[in-house]
């Protein structure tokens, strides 16, 4: 039984999600205490519980303490099995945060899986769904991952009700990424949508994003206005993806009540401009989310980031607890260079 203090580092939900994912991947039981100790409402919220139960469902785990507001859980994994699974957050809790736990387990398992997850597709404090579709999955495909995300219905705060289907096919052994340079910019694509709101909102969001990127080849931003037939509630998001010679850089913003569309678009555009101009080979959020996949490779990987978030530093600490891997972080001018170095396994 591995003991993990949930208050370590950023002390939030990502530590818990990553811990149960690694427990399933490594086949090692885990006891996580002090769950979300640094948050204003400590303990398991519905989306965190769904993430735990999604991983438990994939590997037939036995759990104790898996209930809303619980501050500790025991997670005893079984073997990951293929098949079809349905998971419902039950609120507008983020589908993408549930996938942060479930997708690495599915990828590492080597079996075919089909997941349907119900909840919020584009909510605050979580990656918008299109970031996973147009930034994270293309990066993973370069590692040999075969996965597809289909949006069945969008859902927003406070009602949720969004539905996403995820298919993961068996992959060859994960290939490392050696991203010492991003390479030249090829194109910028954008994906902006609003649901059950006036059309001018998505237009203003896209225009303000374009205004932040005047020095680059004119981005192409797809704009969608969704109705009640394909979206529950009112909301929206914008995701920008810069395709470089060797990588993909992303940035995003999610619609919030009372925040003008111009500010949202400008934020996404500014963040992408900063990523491209810095020379980073993974954007700040991808640097966080790609760590677990790079740690599963049998050969070294590396990347450059503008900075490492507290989520990333906590994830690095956690990965070294479960897997035979070590990380080296050094300065490379104004960037951080991260090396992911597999270690020899102990025993015969």
Long-range residue pairs from 314-317, CB within 8 A, at least 24 positions apart, any chain: 314/8, 314/9, 314/10, 314/11, 314/14, 314/15, 315/14, 315/15, 315/18, 315/288, 315/291, 316/291, 317/8, 317/9
Selected catalytic residue, list 48, 134, 193, 311: 311
143 closest CA partner among 332, 290, 303: 290
Q: What is the DSSP letter of 174?
A: P
Per DSSP, helices labelled H in 223-343 are 261-278, 284-289, 291-295, 310-322
Give me the residue label for tokens 């896209």.
206
Six-digit token string for 301: 């990987």
CA distance 80 to 24: 7
285 in active site: no
User: From residue 222, how far is each of 189, 201, 205 by CA, in Å?
Assistant: 8, 14, 11
Catalytic residues: 311
């Amino acid at each position: 039984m591995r003991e993990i203090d949930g208050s370590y580092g950023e002390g939030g939900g990502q530590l818990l999600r990553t811990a149960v994912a690694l427990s399933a991947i490594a086949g090692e039981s885990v006891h996580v205490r002090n769950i979300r100790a640094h948050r204003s409402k400590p303990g398991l919220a519905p989306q965190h519980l769904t993430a735990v139960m999604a991983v438990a469902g994939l590997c037939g785990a036995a759990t104790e303490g898996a209930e809303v507001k619980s501050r500790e859980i025991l997670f005893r994994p079984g073997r990951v099995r293929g098949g079809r699974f349905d998971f419902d957050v039950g609120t507008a809790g983020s589908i993408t945060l549930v996938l942060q736990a479930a997708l690495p387990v599915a990828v590492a398992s080597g079996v075919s899986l089909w997941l349907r997850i119900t909840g919020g597709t584009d909510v605050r404090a979580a990656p918008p769904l299109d970031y996973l579709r147009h930034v994270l999955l293309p990066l993973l495909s370069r590692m040999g991952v075969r996965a597809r995300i289909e949006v069945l219905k969008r859902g927003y705060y406070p009602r949720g009700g969004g539905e996403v289907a995820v298919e993961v096919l068996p992959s060859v052994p994960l290939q490392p990424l050696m991203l010492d340079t991003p390479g030249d910019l090829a194109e910028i694509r954008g994906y902006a949508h609003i649901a059950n709101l006036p059309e001018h909102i998505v237009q203003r969001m896209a225009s303000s994003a374009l205004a932040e990127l005047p020095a680059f080849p004119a981005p192409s931003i797809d704009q969608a206005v969704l109705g009640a037939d394909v979206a529950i509630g009112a909301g929206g998001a914008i995701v920008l993806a810069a395709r470089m010679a060797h990588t993909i850089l992303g940035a995003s913003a999610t619609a919030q009540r009372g925040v003008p569309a111009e500010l949202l678009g400008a934020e996404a555009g500014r963040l992408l401009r900063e990523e491209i101009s810095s020379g980073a080979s993974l954007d700040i959020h991808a640097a966080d989310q790609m760590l677990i996949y790079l740690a599963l490779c049998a050969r070294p990987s590396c990347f450059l980031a503008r900075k490492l978030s507290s989520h990333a530093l906590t994830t690095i600490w956690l990965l070294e607890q479960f897997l035979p891997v070590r990380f080296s972080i050094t300065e490379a001018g104004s960037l951080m260079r991260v090396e992911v170095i597999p270690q020899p396994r102990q025993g015969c």
